Amino acid sequence: MPDLDLVLAHIRLDGVPADLGIGGGRILRVAPPGSLTAPVVEDGAGLLALPGLVDGHIHLDKSFVGLDWIPHRPDPSVAGRIAAEKLQLRALAEPVGERARRLVAQIAARGTTALRSHVDVDAEVGLAGLEALLELRGDVASLLSMQIVAFPQSGVVSHPGGARVLEDAIRAGADVVGGLDPAGIDEDVEGQLAIVFGIAERHGVPIDIHLHDPGELGAWQLRRIAARAKAVGLQGRVAVSHAYALGAVPEAVLARTAAVLAEAGVAIMTNGPGPDPIPPIKRLLAEGVVVFAGSDNIRDAWSPYGNGDMLERARLIGYRAGLLTDAELRLGLDLVTIAPARVLGLPNPGLAEGAVADLVLVVAQHIPEAVAAAPPRSLVMKAGRIIARQGSLV
Amino acid sequence: MPDLDLVLAHIRLDGVPADLGIGGGRILRVAPPGSLTAPVVEDGAGLLALPGLVDGHIHLDKSFVGLDWIPHRPDPSVAGRIAAEKLQLRALAEPVGERARRLVAQIAARGTTALRSHVDVDAEVGLAGLEALLELRGDVASLLSMQIVAFPQSGVVSHPGGARVLEDAIRAGADVVGGLDPAGIDEDVEGQLAIVFGIAERHGVPIDIHLHDPGELGAWQLRRIAARAKAVGLQGRVAVSHAYALGAVPEAVLARTAAVLAEAGVAIMTNGPGPDPIPPIKRLLAEGVVVFAGSDNIRDAWSPYGNGDMLERARLIGYRAGLLTDAELRLGLDLVTIAPARVLGLPNPGLAEGAVADLVLVVAQHIPEAVAAAPPRSLVMKAGRIIARQGSLV
């Protein structure tokens, strides 16, 4: 047993008093309160410890956080909104990396210790956003772990050069290949999926596809994605973000779709949408489908809402999905900790001995109260180092 | 012009710098920054001033706030949930007035300066809850204004003695007569409505009916309520709380129902429900229907969520209803200020000269940002007195 660097003393693990012994960036001991010693002892003062929060879906390149207010510009068509966003982002004086850095600081102070960020890549912006995030990733590694998805916001098949830049992005260092509404944006479901799955196979990367297409159209594409994942041996390596369709199709279609998602190991990301239907989380989990959570839009061209606080996100999703009992509220925490950590491939998530010491402390009796109340973060630890106290980086 | 007691200097009104001159509990002057003097000058430091927040629907008698955690106990039937709640409330050692007082302190510190509270009255609890709230109302009058609805949680027609205790509650001082799912709970729509409207007519009180009944059944009852309101001259005096049905019926039914609600001056209260459908707020407002907001459940037998923060509620409702543009975000603020103030019959709501000086200060550039971000309350003023700073009562 290596020596302890630090003891986080007198915390609570889902209500049970404990000390955590930290060494080499990991939790080495979970022991009765007052039983551990180390060169540094941090008094947990009876606070509840939660695993580090994981944002399974963020767009670090899109946010206006910290800028003067930019009013939302509505547009009836998706293509119009995409075009409007390009104009708005292009008009910003500040480089994308600086905007993203400010958002990282905000969410790290709120306890996000790992994230999956999509980044726009297309024939116009090229790889500029990706390169900025790759540089930022190194700079902020002490605050959080970052996984990057090459996101074809402008389309794949329908956007000239879209397929090429998507593969270039993987060659340039993106960790995951993205997709976007194969029917709604590209109007060529098999065409887009062939390209996205082809890149995944050639480069050995996972897949994360935005799917807003509604109802039966969305559910059918989910089944097509699952079929491809199974056919090429990518079980457990494919995620679909949003999947509003699951919240809107008849029971028989839901049952059939959930079964193939579970069998193919296709995970579903939800941010607890507002007007759009939310996938039926309790039902999907019962069917064996992996469900995880993310912020999605944080004060950007798509939405003026959002702050990147993943415990508030768990509260929102829990409220929206009707997670009410203590057991259901604990599922709500899993959505923003264990579940996205597994999707991101982070080793050994949680607060057991051997885990990376990514954690947050909050004022709450236990996990159900922490999810229902979403209290502010008293302390944030990343890989054994205290990086924030009372909501501010140290 | 009476003398000013206090100047709230260098605040912003939806982004425009101003001073507010306060005297006799009212806003007497709205003037350019730095132009007013008074014995006391409070530096607004560029903060945004919003009208005092109004909670149009709260249950002060139900909340477990401040108690040890009580896990949610699910029950498939509404009758079962009502019975379970009675057992849970009866088991609490603390009197209802003390629980309600703690919740009032919490929400006053977050800027609620007026509220409409429902209080359970039935043949078992009798008027005990009402009497506790009537006493509390006087005690906390310096913090907030309180209107009380006699709420037949156990039913009216179907609950032996229900009609009598409902009328007794009005005689004992309740301001508003309530109702509850005439079809779903009483299974006698005309029977319950005849009793509720009869009490309203005899005692000259407004009406506020909980209506969870779904789809066409709910929409039909909304039209029956509107017809009765018009027939007996109670236009502008009737509210229906929840009205999930409006979020679930076909377009033609919605249009027909909205038209009669607007014509009869029946207001709709929403809390921005989670799994239940939300009434289409933008559409209803466009049709001339009054829409206002309330907290509803705050950590009680019905839901572990909720904290009584009405600016967070505006954010939640805005997110849920897709209020995105600046104009729509301003409608979101109206839902928790002007609109419920009018439903409660509060005189002259807002921040104009002559208004009661109920207001809050927050860190935000303007109203759209305040609704999208729901920042904490830097200062709360009730009738010209500063009652809270930085989220704590003074």
The average pLDDT across A200-207 equals 98
Whole-number pLDDT of residue A62:
97
Q: Is B233 on the interface with A (CB under 8 A)?
A: no
pTM of the model: 0.98
Which residues in chain A are closer than 8 Å to B74, comparing Cβ atoms? 324-325
d(CA A16, CA A10) in angstroms, rounded, equals: 10
- The verdict on a CB contact (< 8 Å) between A74 and B303 is no
Choose from A12, A14, A69, A303 for mutation: most chain B CBs within 10 A: A69
Which residue in A275, A316, A320 is closest to B322 by CB distance? A275
The mean pLDDT of chain A is 97
Please, which residues 276-305 of chain B have a Cβ atom closer than 8 Å to chain A? Answer: 299, 303-305
B-chain residue closest to A281, CA distance: B275
pLDDT score recorded for residue A373: 98
The answer to whether A144 touches A133, Cβ cutoff 8 Å, is: no
> pLDDT tens across B172-205, in order?
999 999 999 999 999 999 999 999 999 999 999 9
Which whole number is the average pLDDT over A313-318? 98
CB contact under 8 Å between B329 and A304, yes or no, is yes
Q: Which chain A residues are Cβ-neighbours of B69 within 8 angstroms?
A: 365-366, 368-369
Chain A residues inside the 8 Å CB shell of B68: 365
Which pLDDT score is estimated for B3? 87
Q: What is the pLDDT of residue B216?
A: 98
Residues of A in contact with B320 (CB under 8 A): 274-275, 320
Is B316's Cβ below 8 Å from some Cβ in A?
yes
Per-residue model confidence (pLDDT) at position B76 = 86
pLDDT surpassing 70 at residue A2? no
| CATH architecture of the domain covering B6-51+349-393 | Roll (2.30)
Which phi and psi angles does A181 have, rounded to 5°?
Answer: 35, 75
Inform me whether the C-beta atom of residue A321 falls under 8 Å from chain B C-beta atoms: yes
CATH superfamily ID and name for B53-343: Metal-dependent hydrolases (3.20.20.140)
Instruction: Report, as an integer, the average pLDDT of A178-188.
Output: 97
Interface probe with A: pick from B65, B68, B88, B305, most Cβ of A within 10 Å: B305
Q: What pairing do the DSSP bridges indicate for beta strands A40-43 and A6-13?
A: parallel
Question: Which of A303, A315, A325 shows the shortest C-beta gap to B71?
Answer: A325
Give the residue from A72, A110, A312 with the most B CB atoms within 10 Å of its CB, the best one to mutate.
Answer: A72
Q: How many CB pairs under 8 A join A and B?
A: 72
Q: Is the pLDDT of residue A177 over 90?
A: yes
At B246 the pLDDT is: 98
Nearest CA in chain A to B67: A365
Please tell me which residue of chain B has the smallest CA distance to A372. Answer: B305
Check B72 against A324: CB less than 8 A apart.
yes
Nearest chain A residue to B65, by CA: A373
Whether the predicted pLDDT of B286 surpasses 70: yes
Is A108 part of the contact surface with chain B (CB cutoff 8 Å)? no
Q: Is the per-residue pLDDT at B78 higher than 90?
A: no
Q: Where in chain B is the domain with CATH 3.20.20.140?
A: 53-343
Here the contacts of B2-7 (C-beta below 8 Å, separation 24 or greater) are B2/B28, B3/B38, B4/B28, B4/B29, B4/B36, B4/B37, B4/B38, B5/B38, B5/B39, B5/B40, B5/B384, B6/B38, B6/B39, B6/B40, B6/B41, B6/B42, B6/B384, B7/B36, B7/B37, B7/B38, B7/B40, B7/B41, B7/B42
Residue A119: its pLDDT value, please? 98
Residue pLDDT, tens place only, A62-107: 999 999 999 999 998 888 999 999 999 999 999 999 999 999 999 9
Q: Is A74–B325 a contact, with Cβ atoms under 8 angstroms apart?
A: yes
Q: A322 CB near a chain B CB, below 8 Å?
A: yes
Percent of chain B's residues with pLDDT above 90: 97
Could you tell me which chain A residue has the CA closest to the CA of B300?
A324
Mean pLDDT throughout B359-364? 98
From the CA of B303, how many Å to the nearest CA of chain A?
6
Most A-contacting residue of B48, B68, B69, B311 (CB-CB within 10 A), to test interface: B69
Query: Is pLDDT above 90 for B243?
Result: yes
pLDDT of residue A15: 86
Subunit contact A329:B372, Cβ cutoff 8 A = no
Q: Is the ipTM of this complex over 0.85?
A: yes
- How much is the pLDDT for B1? 55
Helix ranges, A66-188 (H)? 78-90, 96-109, 128-139, 162-171
pLDDT over threshold 70, residue A1: no
Report pLDDT for A249: 98
Query: How far away is chain A from the Cα of B323, in angstroms, using its nearest Cα?
Result: 9
**Ranges of CATH 2.30.40.10 domains, chain B:** 6-51+349-393
| Residue B313 φ/ψ region, left for φ over 0, alpha for ψ in the -120 to 50 degree band, beta for the rest | alpha
Judge contact between B375 and B364, C-beta under 8 A. Answer: yes
